[in-house]
Amino acid sequence: PEKITMIDQSPHQLAKAKKKEQLKGVTILEGDAEDLPFETDSKDRYVSAGSIEYWPEPQRGICEAYRVLKPGGLACVIGPVYPTNPISRFFADAWMLFPTEKEYIDWFTAAGFKDVQLKRIGPWWYHGVRRHGLIMGCSVTARKAAIGESPLQLGPKEEDVTKPSVGAAARLTRLILGTAAGFYYFCVPVYMLLKHLLIWPLSLVWKGAHKRLM
């Protein structure tokens, strides 16, 4: 644990992390994924899980991962995948960033990473269907090829957190839509699990049941 450093922008989440017995000895810092507080070529591994969907500029975050890694260092990013179901797409757009699989690969490649590999992940009972997106995500791994910063230079950050980007009415609308989307994506995996439990007995006599009915 002494060799691990955790970063989050939320003081509330960091306070909860510091109370966990499993994280004793881990260095816990408040920081920005798009502006990491580490020296260039200083880390052996980089892992981000369930974070990229909140980054204002995902490409910048991937370039930062490249910068802080030592040559040959491994990066791993785990995140959701943009859904294909029209209803799920609507709620995904209202809630947060759902990158496509191609966007993940393009971001890593543009940052200078080599050996970029994407693997689809999800609950064992989901049977490979990804139309709802959030409960069928992916992990992307890649290696840093050379010393120094990313060959992709992006310039200064575009986000200005000192000024609200939208008015009060727009923020309220986003809050309502985001809440509805969060509830929808809470219900989807429950629905899929119940559907699996109902179809599973049928699959004992019909091998293609899950593929046809899920």
pLDDT for position 162: 53
pLDDT for position 136: 66
Better-predicted residue by pLDDT, 158 or 85: 85
Query: What percent of the chain is modeled with pLDDT above 90?
Result: 44
Over residues 161-180, the mean pLDDT reads 73
pLDDT for position 211: 53
- The closest alpha carbon to 138, from 173, 171, 172, 102, belongs to 102
* Chain centroid offset of residue 114 CA: 20
pLDDT for position 121: 83
Over residues 69-98, the mean pLDDT reads 88
Mean pLDDT score across all residues of the chain: 83
- The closest alpha carbon to 56, from 193, 212, 165, 210, belongs to 165
Better-predicted residue by pLDDT, 199 or 185: 185
SS3 letters for 69-95?
A: EEEEEEEEEEECCCCCCHHHHHHHHHH
**pLDDT class of 40 with cuts at 50, 70, 90:** very high
- The closest alpha carbon to 43, from 65, 28, 23, belongs to 65
> What's the whole-model pTM score?
0.80
Q: What is the pLDDT of residues 125-158, one digit of tens each?
A: 665 555 655 556 889 999 998 999 999 988 887 6
CA–CA gap between residue 28 and residue 113 (Å, rounded)? 27
Q: Is 22 helix (H, G, I), strand (E, B) or coil?
A: helix
